[in-house]
Each structure stands twice: as C-alpha cells, then as structure tokens.
Chain A
C-alpha cells in the first residue's frame, strides 16, 4: 500500500469538488474492494475522499411510484428493506447471493456498482493486464479463463463484472444519479453505466473525473415472479459462474439478465420476447455473437439451463 492522504467531506458536491482538485484521488465508502486492491497495490490512490459522512443513506419513494436508493445505503439494509423485498425481490435476492454478511454490512450501493473485476490476472501484479496497466496486454486470453467473459469481450480484455446487485438493477431498468464537481447532476440509465472493455478496459463506467454517484433509482415495480439464480462451484461466498436475474409474468412474458458472462450485467431486451418459447430461444438471443474460450465455453449451455431453471421456478 502506498502512502496516501485522506479527507472527509460533508456533502456530495464537496466530495466531487475535492476529487476534481486532487489528482489521483479516489472516493472511499465501504472500502470492501478498494482497500484490498490498495494492499495489493493494484490501485494506488494518492488521496482518499471519505464519503461516509455525506448522507445519501436513505431509501425513499421516487416520484413515479419507484424507489430511490441512496448511494451509501449498505447492501444489508437494502436487501432487508420491506419495500425492496415486496416490490423488487429480485434485487434483494441478488444482494443476498453476494459476498458474506460481514461484507454486506459494510458494502454500499454505489460501491457495489463500482466493484472491479475478479480476474485472477488482474490480481497478480507480475502479469500483464490492460485493465491494471493499460497497454501491457492481457494474460487471461490464452490463460486460465474458466471464470471469465464469454460475450462482449475484446482482444484487450475478457474480464467480467462481479456484481450480483448490478444484474438485478439492470433487469429493473435502474437509473444511476450522479453529481459532478461543478454541482450539476445527471441520470445515467444503468444500461449505459457500465462499459464493454473494447480497447480501454481500464475505463469501466460512464463516470467522468470527480463525478460521484448519489443514488440509484428504480422505476415503479414490475410485478411478476422475481428470481435470482446464482450458479457456482460452492454453495456460498463465491462469484457467479453464471447468474440469471428474471422477472416473469403470469402470461410467461418477462425480462432476463445475466451475470458472470460479460464486462457488464448482460441484458438484450429483444431476446426477452422469446421467453414464452423457452430457455433455448432466450439464450440464443442473449448470447448471439458470444466468443467463449475453451475454459469457459460451458457458460453458454449453463446460461441456457439456468434460464430454464428460472422459467421452471416461475411456473412452480
């Protein structure tokens, strides 16, 4: 860990301003990912801006019958919120499928969206990684890639986004609200929030320098059966090989998003029209153009089978 300076800020705009003023600054909230990365010197911010004191810790009704989740709401609190459990159960289930109780107590909504990949080559500073050291190459391509991406991958990076929560939010058409250093705000549809790796895998989101997430807003509840199926080698405390978030209506229509397959939560709205025809058709639409490796080609049939499990669960 490199030495760094530290400050606490009292408001979101102050925090964004501080970030703009200080080169090499990072925000810190729960720190469950950032501190690990700093210890391994994968990230080495010169300055930390602690945002834990800026508020943003409430869950409140949003204008159109939706829900506004403050950026600093802890994962545990979000998963346990009555409104979330009743109206957005897929989000609650996704949260509880992730990490451990201790981590969820610390981890925040915004921090969860901003998690870095768990690609093992990203974590080993002896290895080239375009995400960690832009231009150094990708050791994962041609290496051990069982856990890594199968779609939306590039020649520069095949990493996946590790979040479960983000998959459910993508399914729910969430909007990410931010504030910029100059005090202006914007609302980014979650579909546009995470980027594909392309040639710049180190740029992972649409956030600009100093821009701070203030909330995630969910539109009005979608109804239907809410399902989150996370598939992994052990029963708990592991990242998804594949996960499926689904909301399925009584008439068989619905939405499906995948985790564990791409650099961002993966959803193709057009593929959802195939839901009444079954998992095979949905998976074909979702994963058209997939470029798996030999290690992770199993994720394609696994995704289809997990969608089938979700459809089966919705029927039960």
Chain B
C-alpha cells in the first residue's frame, strides 16, 4: 500500500481496540521469566558451547603478536577465534570500526579474540590467558582539543537562511553561549548476546537486535556470505536504546566461534566491555546564538555543534531541532565532525535532539530571562506553524503551544518564583523549570503478513522487534481492530528474518510504521476474506463477524477450507515533502537542591505530549516515563569519563556509570493531547518513545538554575559544578 494522500476515515478510527490502555499481551511472559532472551534460549539447539570475548587493551595501534598456547591448553577450551585465523572478514555497512581487531586496533576493547569452551567459567578463565603484545600509537581522545580541526560532515551541510550574522549583530538583545554534553552509554539491562549455529552454509543467529533486516545484511557482510544464508531471530529484547540497531561483535564472533568449534556457540558481552566495545552517544560542544527584538521576537538563531567519531563515522546531529522549533527570519545551523580515536559514536535514543535540546532549551530559558519574559511566553511568542526554513511547508500537526499552556496549568507554573534562589524548603532550595520537547516523525517502509487461521484466530508475522516498548501489543491491537476480533484472538510473531521486512525499532518510528504495515496487510486480508465469503469490499468486520447489509457471517467461516494469508507493506509518497511531521511536548520539572551539599533531587515531573494517535496510552505512558527517567540521568549523572591519555571510557560498568535508581525518580505525570495526524499514515499515529526524553535534561537544568541561581552549561549538572556558585551562609 502506497500512502500518498492524507488518510480518510478507516476502521482504526473506531477505536474499539486501538487507543485503549490494554495490558501488554507479552506481560505475563515477561513477569514470569518465560519470555526467553537471546542468551537464555537453551532449547533452540542442543550442545551450546560458551564464548568469551577478549577486548583490546589499547585504544589505537597494532597487535604485534598473540600467544594462544596457554589459553588453548586451558581446561575445556574448544577453539579460539582471532582476526588472524578467522579467514577473510568484511565490515558491516552500519559499522564504522571493524568488529574484530587485528592487526590494527581502532578503539579500546575492540574484540581481539573469542575463547570458546565447554562452560562459561572455562571460557572466561582461558580468556585471561590470551597474551597479546601491542604497539601503541598516538590517538586523539579530547573533543575540545580536536575541535579546531573538525570538518563539515558529508551529507550534513550548513543550513543558512537570510543573513544570520548581520541580523544577530543588529539584534537589540543578543545571547551567545557554549554548552557541553558528555559521552553517554545506552546501559540497557540485557547486554548484546547471540547464539550461533551453522547448518552447512546456513547460519542461524538467535540474537538481540533492534533492526533485523539491517542485521541480516551486516552479518553477511562481516562474514562474507550471502544474506540469504543468514537467519536472525530476536523475539524478545531486553532494551536497546539504539545500542542494538547494529550487529555487534557478539553476533559475528558467535558465528565464527561456532564454525571453529563445529558446534553452536553463545556469546554475551560482559558488562565491563559494553561501554568501550559497543557504540555510545558522543559528546558535543555546542554554541548557540540568539538575537531578538526587545519585545522578544527572535530575529536570528544560530546553532553549531561539534562532535567526534572514528574515521569514517558521523556527527551527533544536535542542531536538528533548531531548524524547526522556533520562528526567526535569519537562521544558521552547522555541524562539525572531529576525528577521535575513542570507541564508535552512534545513535542513542533521540540522537540529535536529546543533546541538542539540552543546549537549545537552556539557551531559550537564558534568553527569556535576559528579555525579562516568562520562558513559556517567550516560546509561545516565537512559535511557528510552518517550517521556518521553507515556509510553504506547514507542520502536519503542531500543538506545542497547547502542550505548554496545559502543562503550565497542570503543574502550577503560576506559582513559580522567577527570581532564582528565592524558594526554600528546609535545607532544600526549590526551583521549577520548563523546556519544549521536539522530535521528528520518521517514515520507513514496513511489511507484515497476516493469516486468518481455521479457528478464526489471526496471526501476524513481521520482522519488527519489541525492545520493551510494547510493539507486540499495539500490533495485536491493530490486527484486532482491522479484522474485528478480540485482541485475545490475535497471535503476534516478531523478530524473525524469515518474516516480512519491517521498519524495525529505532528513531521512535517503530510504532507508526510497523502498525501501518500491519494495517496494509489487513486491508488485503479483508479483501481476500470478503471475496471468499462473497461480500463486497465494503463489508464491515466487527465482533468476529463479517457483515454487509442484512447478511452476517462468522469471520472464521472464511478459513474453513484452510488459512487465508495476505502480505503487504506500507510505503510512502511525498507527503513528508509537503508537510513537516514532528512530535511535540512540554516538560515541567521541580527540583530541590541541598543548600549545603549541592545534591539535586527531582521532586515532580510532568510531560504533555502531542504525537498523533496514541495507539495504547498505557504502553505509551511507560515509554514516556522511561524516557523522562533517562532524561534525569542525562541531566544529573550520566557521563562516560574519558581517559584522555589512554583513550577509553574509564567508568565502564554500572557501578561507575550511574543511571537513576528508583530513589531518584519522584512522581511522574504524563498527559497525551488528543491528536490524530492523517498525514503520518493510515494509523494517524506518530511516536513517543524518544519525545519523552527530548527536553527533559534542559527542564531539569533550568529548574536547578531557578532553585540556585547557578547556571551550569556543562552536563551532567553534578554538585561539584554547583557548590562553587552557592555561598553557604550558616
């Protein structure tokens, strides 16, 4: 189905199943430990051996020699894989660095070897016996130092509208500041893990991966085999946040280990390897300039961002939202990319907007203060209903003003004291902050197969993944709505590369695109069923029956002679060119800052989201509160600490890389505005999984400023950056 014109009325609008706050259909499996994750799939194939990865001990250089003798002789060892003995290896399209080092080492903890043994303990013990001699070469590890040599990345040209420099210079009120965001780790619960088995030339990988079709292709490229000989199966994923968009060393090494050992091999990355072996969100240095009239109209807005990556890598697109969020005739955004020899930088939940809004939305707060305006009123005054770079393109839906107004009322913004440091509650300095949330709605092709079974149940098959987001449930809701059956009559099968190719999970595009693909397949199935039962195309599917005029037949009758299947995909025309599709939110936060120690504790959070049709308010809310929690981490504690001498992230475990714990998370409230967006897809939905994070960090930083009068422009906002500006009068 090609989606070329805005969606009209369709069966989804009935809202009998779609749009209801239904429990997850996989909830029981998850809460009883019976949803098997990749490493736990003991039943898929017998005789699994264990692989343990050895990571490079240097950031950059060369392996001079590897001595495997002692490791090979260790108890239980079956095989050892290195670049030297693995045969010719390729590189995945989605990988910047190779997944296996040798002889060149491109980053710290790049995989040097896989030791395969009978037991996990034997593999791990023997891995310590692999002796590697390195020749270290000098690398670049410091973004601030490398920034001067940064260049414009290919495909990310500067955006220039009007005369930014002139308008900024002429603006009666000017603001110019630099912000920094640190490297961050996805730190999902389930590490990267795979079980590999060969059957002749055919490889099966039971793995944990967000994008099955990308993964299938890149496994083939890494191993130099045909993609049709690769099967990936990833039905349950214990979190990804972008860290599992790409095939990583666990999958490729499990495949190589299984080949070398002549039997199935399972590999999980040990927690201390994840920060440096896999990808991370790169640090940024951002400069924002805003020029405005005295009454608060933006006349010039400029946003520049510097980030670093390995040679051939890409930038953190932190200026993205600044092209679209506020009005202003004269505009400039610019990305610059430095070469750094740190581990590979790549996407993490809301790449671009997450760190970009951490800067922009503080700058907006600072500018509002400079103008003597309420920061909400300043935002509303500069709202735009069209793409400010191409005013002929309206937003398909844009309810940012409503998000801000409703949020302000709900949160009690009117009670905020605009004077920083003015509100005390015992030892706590109390402040409120606000930020706009923004994330684009991305469109991806997505296919599905639906089948009406003999017993009237409906089976959906697609290689779409559920990374904890609730995909199983919204797909079941979509199929139930379309086929007019109870959700309990729908069986959803995901994550298998033998199924039709879906959008996958990333960029908050999964929900809208994957359900639209199921919608398309269901339209075809309805046609087939109607034909089989002798109905016209206008037949109504409801309550397990197909009805037209006076005639009504049980749906299951259509499959009496055997199941009926239909497959289709959703693909998109040029509506995205005519309309800008984005999602909007307001984030409100109240913090307390200990006046003695500078410790910040979040007291209340509110998100008001406008993101098209909300397919399941319960799972959507879970997505948003999870994202808000991640925002607390980004604002207050998360930072991969760089050792600038040796070039690695030092705090590479969950004791050193702190993410919020339950005690850090107070009451969180989420409001979804009523919205359907007929431009986005037949589902009229968009995504919320990243929107919930976008702007949270800035709202917290703004609340801390309101509480203390200290403006920190270098995340995370930890107490050491606050106390210097908080004189203690006892």
Contact = CB atoms under 8 A, between A and B. Distances in A.
A143 B643 contact: yes
Interface residues of B, number: 42
A127 to B, nearest CB: 8
B728 A302 contact: no
Contact of A236 (B124, B598, B642, B661): B661
A306 B598 CA distance: 10
Interface string B596-624: 11110100000000000000000000000
Interface string B614-652: 000000000000000000000011000111011000111
Interface stretch (B31-39, B677-685, B716-724): B716-724
B107 to A, nearest CB: 13
B661 A309 contact: no
Contacts of B637: 233-234
A2 to B, nearest CB: 6
B653 interface: yes
Contact of A305 (B641, B642, B658, B728): B728
B718 A120 contact: no
Given A144-B643, A302-B720, A233 B596 contact: no
Given A298-B723, A305-B728, A236 B597 contact: no
A1 B124 contact: yes
A232 B656 CA distance: 12
B658 A308 contact: no
B119 to A, nearest CB: 11
A312 interface: yes
Contact of A118 (B57, B272, B643, B655): B655
A302 B655 contact: no
Given A234-B636, A305-B723, A312-B596, A40 B272 contact: yes
A241 B720 CA distance: 10
Nearest to A235: B663
Interface string A202-246: 000000000000000000000000000101111111110100000
Given A1-B125, A118-B655, A126-B57, A231 B663 contact: no
Interface string A52-91: 0000000000000000000000000000000000000000
Contacts of B599: 231-233
Contact of A309 (B597, B651, B662, B718): B597
A112 B149 CA distance: 50
A251 B641 CA distance: 45
Interface residues of A, number: 42
Nearest to B655: A118
B28 interface: no
Given A39-B124, A231-B719, A143 B661 contact: no
Nearest to B637: A233
Contacts of A232: 599
A302 B121 CA distance: 43
A31 B662 CA distance: 25
Interface string B566-610: 000000000000000000000000000010111101000000000
Given A126-B57, A234-B661, A241 B719 contact: yes
A238 B658 contact: yes
Contacts of B719: 231, 233, 241, 298, 302
A269 interface: no
Contacts of A306: 596-597
22 contacts: A1-B121, A1-B124, A1-B125, A41-B128, A126-B57, A143-B650, A144-B641, A144-B642, A144-B650, A231-B597, A233-B636, A233-B716, A235-B601, A237-B661, A239-B655, A298-B719, A298-B720, A298-B723, A302-B597, A302-B598, A308-B728, A311-B730
